[in-house]
């Protein structure tokens, strides 16, 4: 039975999910490629819950993946024992639908992030994810941006004291996350500009944004200064990123590397093949340029 990311993450809602990040000086072996690849490879943990974390880490290490994302503190130690890092810390506790566009929970969210930030800093992490939350009756797009900015400002400023980034994920509201407000790149960029803080960025999920707006390469080129992280996934279906789906991931990765993006690109598709690690290896090969 297939699971969605939303369903998998709901199962982790009560778990502390934070991830360490290696220093920016570490170079990826893939940078020796013909195009001089600038970005680094990561993989999200949740699509491989059928495998142990140790198995995933061992395979990731074998194929040149540097990061496994979305881990709790004990799992961080396991990843580190394999010489791996984690590129994106999770919101704790997790909620995609209840976010910073809801002023009634600003105090709660701020308290949670204020407690989380020093813990993450001690673990050497640089990015923490956040979410806009879902639209509510009477909430305009402009008011949603204003609410997010008001709620996020103290969080982002606190994160800056620890040299951390707060990163909002772009999700589709058409197929997977009905009602989610940060569902277009332009909305996220407007929020970045409203905040005006250098350590607030976007997580550009290629799968989600292909569904919502398409025109992926041009959008990335025009907004790369606002993007801290990328996720992959095949469209339609969120499965393998091979020839069975509509996106040209090789061209997208070439465009990202041409922009000298030095962050992480994380595989976040749900494998359909019996050998899920074969699909993961294929995804990394497609995204190596």
DSSP letter for each residue of 97-150 = SS-TT-GGGHHHHHHHHHHHHHHHHHTT--EEEE---B--TT--HHHHHHHHHH
Residue 42 counted as domain residue: yes
Residue 281 counted as domain residue: no
Please name which of 192, 194, 222, 200 lies closest in space to residue 209, comparing C-alpha atoms: 222
Please name which of 96, 154, 162, 98 lies closest in space to residue 125, comparing C-alpha atoms: 162
- Within 8 A by CB and 6+ apart from 159, the residues are 113, 117, 128, 165, 166, 199
CA atoms within 13 A on the CB side of 116: 32
Phi, psi (deg, nearest 5) at residue 171: -125, 155
pLDDT of residue 5: 53
- Tell me how far apart the alpha carbons of residues 273 and 100 are, in angstroms, rounded to a whole number: 37
Residue 30 counted as domain residue: yes
Average of per-residue pLDDT values in the chain: 90
Tokens of 6: 């939303």
Residue 155 counted as domain residue: yes
- Tell me how far apart the alpha carbons of residues 241 and 178 are, in angstroms, rounded to a whole number: 23
Residue 289 counted as domain residue: no
In the chain the first and final C-alpha atoms are separated, in Å, by 33
DSSP H helices, the chain, are 5-10, 53-62, 73-81, 106-122, 141-161, 185-195, 206-212, 216-223, 249-258, 276-286
Residue 285 to residues 97, 102, 205, 246, 282, Cα–Cα distance (Å) = 34, 41, 19, 17, 5
pLDDT over 70 (residue 11): no
Q: What is the number of other CB atoms lying within 10 angstroms of the CB of residue 119?
A: 15
* Number of domains observed in the structure of the chain: 1
User: What are residue 43's DSSP bridge partners?
Assistant: 68, 267
pLDDT over 60 (residue 9): no
pLDDT over 50 (residue 225): yes
Q: What is the number of other CB atoms lying within 10 angstroms of the CB of residue 11?
A: 12
Residue 218 counted as domain residue: no
What are 104-143's pLDDT values in tens digits?
999 999 999 999 999 988 899 899 999 999 999 999 999 9
Tokens of 189: 């960029």
Better pLDDT: 32 or 147: 147
What are 204-218's pLDDT values in tens digits?
999 999 999 999 999
pLDDT of residue 35: 58
Please name which of 196, 194, 216, 197 lies closest in space to residue 205, comparing C-alpha atoms: 216
- Tell me how far apart the alpha carbons of residues 169 and 228 are, in angstroms, rounded to a whole number: 10
pLDDT over 80 (residue 93): yes
Q: Average pLDDT for residues 163-189, to the nearest whole number?
A: 98
pLDDT over 90 (residue 30): no
pLDDT band at 168 (very low <50, low <70, confident <90, very high): very high
Q: Which residue do the tokens 């949670």 mark?
A: 112
Residue 285 counted as domain residue: no
pLDDT band at 70 (very low <50, low <70, confident <90, very high): confident
pLDDT band at 74 (very low <50, low <70, confident <90, very high): confident
Domain extent, residue 255, equals 5-180+187-207+226-236+245-264
What are 245-289's pLDDT values in tens digits?
999 999 999 999 999 999 999 999 999 999 999 999 999 999 999
pLDDT over 90 (residue 15): no
CATH of the domain at 99: 3.20.20.150
Residue 286 counted as domain residue: no
């Amino acid at each position: 039975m297939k699971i969605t990311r939303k369903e998998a993450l709901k199962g982790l809602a009560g778990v502390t999910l934070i991830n360490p990040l290696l220093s920016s000086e570490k170079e990826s072996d893939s940078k020796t490629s013909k195009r001089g690849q600038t970005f680094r490879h990561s993989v999200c943990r949740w699509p491989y819950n059928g495998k142990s974390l140790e198995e995933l880490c061992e395979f990731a290490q074998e194929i040149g993946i540097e990061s496994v994302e979305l881990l709790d503190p004990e799992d961080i130690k396991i990843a580190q024992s394999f010489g791996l890092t984690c590129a994106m810390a999770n919101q704790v506790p997790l909620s995609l639908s209840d976010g910073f566009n809801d002023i009634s929970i600003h105090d709660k969210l701020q308290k949670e992030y204020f407690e989380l930030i020093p813990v993450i800093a001690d673990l050497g992490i640089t990015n923490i994810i956040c979410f806009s939350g879902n639209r509510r009756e009477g909430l305009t797009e402009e008011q949603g941006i204003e609410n997010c900015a008001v709620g996020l400002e103290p969080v982002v400023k606190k994160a800056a004291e620890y040299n951390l980034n707060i990163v909002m994920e772009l999700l589709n509201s058409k197929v997977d996350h009905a009602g989610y407000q940060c569902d277009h790149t332009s909305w996220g960029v407007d929020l970045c500009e409203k905040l005006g803080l250098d350590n607030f960025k976007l997580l550009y999920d290629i799968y989600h944004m292909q569904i919502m707006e398409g025109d992926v390469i041009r959008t990335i080129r025009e907004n790369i200064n606002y993007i801290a992280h990328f996720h992959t996934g095949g469209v339609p279906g969120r499965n393998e990123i091979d020839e069975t789906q509509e996106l040209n991931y090789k061209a997208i990765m070439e465009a990202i590397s041409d922009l000298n993006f030095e962050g992480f690109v994380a595989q976040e598709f749900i494998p359909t093949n019996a050998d899920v690690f074969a699909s993961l290896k294929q995804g990394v090969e497609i995204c190596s340029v």
